Amino acid sequence: MQDLLTRFLFPMCPHLSLSPPPPATLWLLLPVCLSVGPPPLSEMKEKNPWHSPVAIIITVIGVIVIVALVIVAVLQNRPLAQKYKYGIVLDAGSSHTALYIYEWPAEKDNNTGRVEQKHSCKVIGPGISSYASAPQKAGESLKACMKEAEQWVPVKRHPETPLYLGATAGMRLLNIENSAASDKVFEAVGEALQKSPFSYQGARILSGQEEGAFGWVTVNYLDDRLSQGLETTGALDLGGASTQISFVSDQYDGSESPSNAVNFRLYGNDYELYTHSFLCYGKDQAQRLKLAHQTQSGPNAVEDPCQHPGYNTTKKYSVLYDSPCVSNRKPQGAPATFLHTGTGNVKQCQDVVKNIFNFTDCKYSQCSFNGVYQPSLQGPFGAFSAYYFVTSFLNLTDTSVPLEDVRKKLERYCATSWSQIVQEHPGVKEKYLAEYCFSGTYILTLLTEGYNFTSESYSNINFIKKIKGSDAGWTLGYMLNLTNMIPAEAPDSPPLPHAGYVSIVSICAVVIFILLLFSLRPLWARHCKKQQIV
Ligand SMILES: O=c1[nH]cnc2c1ncn2[C@@H]1O[C@H](COP(=O)(O)OP(=O)(O)O)[C@@H](O)[C@H]1O
Ligand SMILES: [Ca+2]
């Protein structure tokens, strides 16, 4: 460009200098060149054309315009001090409650992948359904985490921050068992949350379908699959009282078993999701189902292949049967307690676990278990919550390891004596330690026999806890839905990023300026000639 100027424009005004100026000053000389004609020959020696008022004014204006253009371009593109919005969701699960704080840039709500988990807080104590006989305590238990949330959300954002509480299978079961008690727990929890400075939006029980579908939304949102219209990931959630499976299958259009269909239109794409929640098939209730089955044959003692050899505990029948999942199976004339001992045999454990599933009744073209329709599995799956806790403890999260090797590893673990297990894991709660052998076996049985994962499709499962720093679970999907943060249609975006737009406008301005100079060239040539003649 500068070369062009030197070769074509500068010679137009030979009166300005005998030799071309350095390239950097060429641009500044242009307006001067244009504004001042060559002075009469008589004046050439005494009057410097640079001192003409018109030249000075035009030079100053030119410089101001260029500087303004650069400032505008720079200011427009500087990273803005980001403002954030917040949302809080309490996951009132059967075993415990957890609080999640989400954060997203205030101006860009609609952009996918923008909402992130800022903080989480684990409520001390059991799940809210365990407070049926003392509901006030359910409300009190949340206070510490609510105080923590007040520290994490900036004070000026408190009144506009929505706060939701969603309860899952623990409260579903309490509601079945004693709906008055469940109402009282919600009352107490509502009272406690209303006292917080946040915008409390209510507490309710999620349906199993919602729990499954919002888990699927979370996983796919965090993976940016929804906004980009990519193939989706299925979601497998294992809780304490229920378990969910959700995925998109080409085979499923909702016509067979419509009750399993959830339809979404997200970012301009339609999704027909298959989802099912199995109440009582979370790992804690599944353990009860299994024990209920085992106690049928001999009510005084249970020799359990799913417990480690040397495990020996006395358990209360009243505790085991205190759940609608098993309450109708209590053996007649059962004693108050039974002796629970371990033999540590995975193959036998698998057989006992299989007893809690019904694989025979199916009125559809195909089923998972208990007569529930399930289309053929498709695509990758993210398995979270207790799927992750158990497989990570057992070092079984690597699904590229053949299923046979996974089973062998589990066999060795279960056959280890209880005293050795306790000794090797001093920091792990005994409640969890006592159940990993069962939970590992249950997970493998549920996946392979229940959902029909094969040795090949098993490797499509990813055991995950977090995706890009946010926990996998239903809470984020629930909040995105309630705050309308995922648009049904893809948001229109400008064809060019801002920096590109500014650059192109600047280049165009310069090109137009140069073309203008070229078009004026003959005029100037004539003008210069005239001056010389005079
Ligand atoms: O560190 C852990 N190790 C093993 N299991 C865990 C750990 N933390 C949580 N869990 C289990 O994860 C499950 C979480 O279930 P949740 O309380 O969400 O029930 P829900 O989803 O059925 O309502 C429970 O079975 C709980 O015992
Ligand atoms: Ca859960």
DSSP sequence for 326-386? TGGGPPTT--SEEEEEE---HHHHHHHHHTTS--S---SS-BSSTT-B-PPP-S-EEEEEH
Strands 301-304 and 337-342: parallel
Neighbours of 31 (CB within 10 A): 22
Residue 107 designated active-site: no
Determine the angle formed by the axes of helices 179-194 and 143-152, rounding to 10 degrees.
40
Catalytic residue among 211, 303, 430, 449: 211
Mutate to test the pocket of ligand 1, among 96, 122, 130 (most ligand atoms within 8 A of CB): 96
Distance of CA 217 to the CA centre of its chain: 8
CATH topology of domain 283-463: Nucleotidyltransferase; domain 5 (3.30.420)
CA 149 to centroid of ligand 2, rounded, Å: 20
Q: Which residue minimizes the CA distance to atom 8 of ligand 1?
A: 389
Q: Is the CB of 425 under 6 A from ligand 1?
A: no
pLDDT score at 25: 47
DSSP state of 21: P
User: Which DSSP helix (H) or strand (E) runs through 425?
Assistant: none
pLDDT of residue 382: 98
Q: Whose CA is nearest to atom 4 of ligand 1?
A: 389
pTM recorded for the entire structure: 0.83
Question: In angstroms, what is the span from residue 216 Cα to ligand 2's centroid?
Answer: 13
Torsion angle in degrees (nearest 10) through CA of 278, 284, 285, 289: 120
Question: Which residues of the chain does CATH 3.30.420.150 include?
Answer: 283-463
ipTM field: 0.99
In the chain, the amino acid numbered 99 is: L
DSSP H or E stretch at residue 432: helix 430-433
Q: How far is the CA of 92 from the centre of ligand 2 (A)?
A: 8
Give, for all 534 residues of the chain, the pLDDT tens digit: 445 444 544 444 444 444 444 544 445 444 444 444 444 444 445 566 667 777 777 777 877 877 777 777 777 666 566 799 999 999 999 999 999 999 999 876 555 558 999 999 999 999 999 999 999 999 999 999 999 999 999 999 999 999 999 999 999 999 999 999 999 999 999 999 999 999 999 999 999 999 999 999 999 999 999 999 999 999 999 999 999 999 999 999 999 999 999 999 999 999 999 999 999 999 999 999 999 999 988 789 999 999 999 999 999 999 999 999 999 988 888 899 999 999 999 999 999 999 999 999 999 999 999 999 999 999 999 999 999 999 999 999 999 999 999 999 999 999 999 999 999 999 999 999 999 999 999 999 999 999 999 999 999 999 999 999 999 999 999 999 999 999 999 877 666 666 676 677 677 667 776 776 667 666 666 666 666 665
List the structure tokens of 300. 């005084």
3 state SS of 123: coil
